[in-house]
A and B are shown apart, each in its own frame.
Chain A
Amino acid sequence: MTLPPWTAFLPYIEFAAILVVTWALGRLVGLLLSRVIGQTMPQVSAAAGRLGAVTVWVIGGVLALQELGVSTDIVLLVVLLFGVAAVVALREPLQNIGARYFSDLYTPFRLGDVVEVAGHRGKVIEINPITTVLLAEDDTLRSVPNSRFVQEVVTNLSPQAWREVNVPFSVGGGVDMPRFESALRKSLGKLRLHLDPRFPPVLMTRARSGQSTDLTLTVLIRRPEERDAITAEVGKRVADMVARAQAGRY
C-alpha cells in the first residue's frame, strides 16, 4: 500500500503543530506560574512566568526537532553544556540577580536609606540587578554586590526604618491604575489599626512599559513585633489585588 503523497509533509505538519502547541502551552504556563507565584511573591511573578515559558519552549523545541528526524541528543547535550557553563561563568552575577529579587522582599531598605553592610556605610542611591550603589560620607561610591545583602548583616541607619514595609510588585500594562489604586487603598484601610495612622499607603511607580507597570507599595507599621505579620498580610492583599487585575477586574 502506498501512502498518499501529502504524508511526506507529515513531519513538517507535526513540527508546526508542536510549535503551535508549545506557543500556547508557553503562554499558559507563563501565566499560571506568574499567577501562582504572585500569590506569595508578587515581585518575582513576572520573572517566574518568563522562566516557565522558556522551559516549555526548550522542551517543545526538542520535541519538534525530533519530529524532523534531527538527533536531539546533541542538542540536549549542547543545551546542558551551555547551561552548566552559564551557571559556572555567571555564578556571581546570578547570585546577585537572585539576591536582588530576594532583597526586594526580605531586606529592609530602599533608595535613600543609609545602610551599613560588610563594612561599607552610605546612602543607597542605586539598586541595579548586580550591585547596590552606596554614596559614602566621604563622597565616594561603594558598589556592593547584591549577594552580600543576603549573606551579611545589613544595618539600616535611617530613623524609623523598622516601620517601613515595602512591597514591590508588577501589574499588566492594561490595568486601570486609578481603579486599581482606589481598590487597593480600600483594602489596606482594613489594616489601619495596625498601621501608622499618620502615613497613608504610598504607591510609587518604579518603571512602566507597554506590557507592565512596576510599583512599590509602602506602608508604615505601628508596632515592631507585628512587622512580620503585617508584611505577610499586606503582601497577601497586594497579591489578591494583582490576581484580580490580571483577571481583568481593573
Chain B
Amino acid sequence: MVALVPPSGRAARSDRRRGRGLPVPAPDADPLDVCVNTQTPLLQFTGVATAEGVPTRPPETARLSDLEEGVDYRFSPGGVTRMVYPLLKRLHTDRRVRSMHWVALNPLAPETVFADDLVLHNVRVAPERLAAYGNVKETIWGTVHGLRHPEGSDDLFWSDDFSEYAYYNRLTAEKMRTLDADEDFDLFYVHDFQQMAIGEMLHTLKPKLFRWHIPFDVADLPESWRPAMTNYLNSYDTVIVSTDRYLGQLKEFGYTGRAVKLYPYVDPSDYTTPPPEEVRATSARWGLAPEDVVALVVARMDPMKGQDRVVRALARLAPDHPQLRLLLVGNGSFSNAKGGLGLSKADRWRASLESLAQELGIADRVRFTGHVTQRELDVAYERSALTVLPSPREGFGLVVVESWLHGKPTIVSRRAGVAELVRPRRNGLLVDPDEDDDIAAKMDLVLADPEGLGARLGSAGRRTADACTIDAAAQAESLLFGEVVNGG
C-alpha cells in the first residue's frame, strides 16, 4: 500500500524548484503489483513465415534476451506504448511498482515474453474475429475524431462486429483475471477505448484505473452510445483524460465516478541533438538540400492526422518560399502493421497525399520518410524550421512536446488536446485545421521571422514541455496509484 504524505522539507523545496508543488508518495511506501493493459503491444512480432507464407504458431513463452530486435520483434512506435513503457520503468526504478504484467493484443507473438522485470502477456485473436473487432475500433475512432457523422453508427453496440469487440475484451479480461489469481495485483490499469468494457468484465473489487487517450467531445459521440459507454466507464474507480476540457466533457457525458486530468508525457532523455554531419547525411537521404527550409509534420499516416491540410498550405506558400519543403514523418500504426490488425489505411492515405501534391504541382517539395528510428526523428526535428500539428481532432499531440524539446516553433490545431497548453505568440501558434489559409498564414509568420518570433516560440515551448515529461508523469501517476489503491 502507498502512504501519501504532503511535501515537506527538502522534498517540498525540490518540488517547488521544479514547479510541481504536488504531494509525493512516502518513500517507504510498499511497491505495488500492477497489471497494465493496452491494445497495442510493447513489442510487435513479425512471426516466422513458412514456405507457403503462413505464419507459424509462435512459441508459448520466450525470453526477450533470446530474441533479436529487428529480426524477431520491434518496439511499437509512438502512441500509448511510448508513454506506458517509460512510466513503468520509472515507477519500477523508483520502487513504486514491484511486479509488472502487461497484457496486449498480439496475434503473432508468443503467449508470454519475459523482459527482465516486465512480463508481457499477449492475447491472440483469430483473423476473422480480429477483422470484425477492427471495424468496431475504426468506427469508434472515426466517430470520436469527427470523421463520421455521430448518428451514422447508432446501432454499433448491437452489431455482430461488436460481439467480436466484446470477445476481445472478455478474452483480455479473462487473461487478467487468471493472472490475478497467481499475482494478486494491487491495481489494474487499462488504457484506451479499445478496451473500455474490460473494467466491467473483470469482476473484481480491486482498484481499476482507465486512461482515455483520444479526444472526448460530447458533440462527436452519438446519443445512443451514451448509456453503454457510461456504463463501461463507471465500472472503473478512476478515469484519466488528457486535458481539462475532456474532463468537463466526460462529466457532461454522464460519467459519475472520479476523473482526473494528467497530461501525456515523453522522456526528455530520449531526445538528443544529433551532430550536424549526421543531420546533413540523413537529410540528404530524404532528398533535402542544405539550403532547403523544412516544415515538419510528424504523424501516423492517417486521414485523421490531417497532413493534406499542410500539403495545401504548402501550395499556397510555394510561390513566396521557393526553398520550402514539407517533410512528412511517420508510417502506419499497429492497426496497419502486418503483425497487428492488418488494415491498409496508411498506404492508401500516403497514396492520396502523393496524388494531392501532384495535382497541386508541388510533388517535388514533399518528402515522405516512412517509419523512422528515434535517432532519425531527432534529425527531422533538428532539420526543421517549424513543425505543424494539423489534426482535425487529436487526443493530445505529443509531437508538439517533442518539437518543444527540440526548441522548434510549433503550429498547433485548435482541436488538439495540447492546444490547452499553447499561449498564442508566446509558445506556439494556434490554427483552425479546416482553414488551409490559416495554416499557411501562421507558417508564413514563422518563416518570415525565424530568428525573432520563431526563436521565441521555440524557447518558450521548451519550458512548457516540462509539464509533459516523464518526471512529472511518474510523480502524478504514482500519487494517483496510491490514492486509488488506498481509496483516497
Task: Decide yes or no: A197 and B170 within 8 Å by CB, A182-B164, A185-B163, A189-B160 being known contacts.
Answer: no
Task: Decide yes or no: A198 and B231 within 8 Å by CB, A177-B174, A178-B170 being known contacts.
Answer: no
Whether, in the assembled complex, B343 has its beta carbon less than 8 Å from a beta carbon of chain A, the answer is: no
Whether, in the assembled complex, B193 has its beta carbon less than 8 Å from a beta carbon of chain A, the answer is: no
In whole angstroms, how far apart are the Cα atoms of A200 and B223 in the complex? 14
Interface-lining segment among A99-107, A116-124, A164-172, A201-209? A201-209
A200 touches B167 (CB 8 A): no
Shortest CB distance B14–A (Å): 46
Residues of B with C-beta under 8 A to A208: 203
Residues of B with C-beta under 8 A to A204: 200, 203
Against A, the Cβ 8 Å flags (1 = close, 0 = not) of B147-168 are 0000000110111101110111
In whole angstroms, how far apart are the Cα atoms of A248 and B163 in the complex? 20
In whole angstroms, how far apart are the Cα atoms of A189 and B164 in the complex? 13
B129, B157, B174, B225 pick with most chain A CB within 10 angstroms: B157
In whole angstroms, how far apart are the Cα atoms of A130 and B203 in the complex? 24
**Within B217-231, which residues are at the interface with A (CB < 8 Å)?**
223-228, 231
In whole angstroms, how far apart are the Cα atoms of A183 and B155 in the complex? 18
Whether, in the assembled complex, B171 has its beta carbon less than 8 Å from a beta carbon of chain A, the answer is: yes
Residues of B with C-beta under 8 A to A179: 167
B163 touches A182 (CB 8 A): yes
A177, A185, A205 pick with most chain B CB within 10 angstroms: A185
B228 touches A199 (CB 8 A): yes
A182 touches B167 (CB 8 A): yes
- What is the chain A residue whose CB lies nearest that of B231? A202
Size range of the chain B interface in the assembly: 20 to 34
Size range of the chain A interface in the assembly: 10 to 19
In whole angstroms, how far apart are the Cα atoms of A186 and B132 in the complex? 13
In whole angstroms, how far apart are the Cα atoms of A189 and B161 in the complex? 11
Partner of A197, one of B174, B224, B231: B224
Shortest CB distance B165–A (Å): 9
Shortest CB distance B188–A (Å): 15
In whole angstroms, how far apart are the Cα atoms of A199 and B167 in the complex? 18
Task: Decide yes or no: A185 and B203 within 8 Å by CB, A178-B171, A199-B227 being known contacts.
Answer: no
Residues of B with C-beta under 8 A to A200: 157-158, 162, 228
Residues of A with C-beta under 8 A to B174: 177-178
Shortest CB distance A246–B (Å): 19
- What is the chain A residue whose CB lies nearest that of B228? A200
Residues of A with C-beta under 8 A to B228: 198-200
In whole angstroms, how far apart are the Cα atoms of A205 and B204 in the complex? 10
In whole angstroms, how far apart are the Cα atoms of A179 and B174 in the complex? 12
What would be 24 A-B contacts, judged by CB atoms less than 8 Å apart?
A178-B168, A178-B170, A179-B167, A181-B166, A181-B167, A182-B166, A182-B167, A182-B170, A185-B162, A189-B160, A192-B155, A197-B155, A197-B158, A197-B224, A198-B224, A198-B225, A198-B227, A199-B227, A199-B228, A200-B157, A200-B228, A202-B200, A204-B200, A205-B201
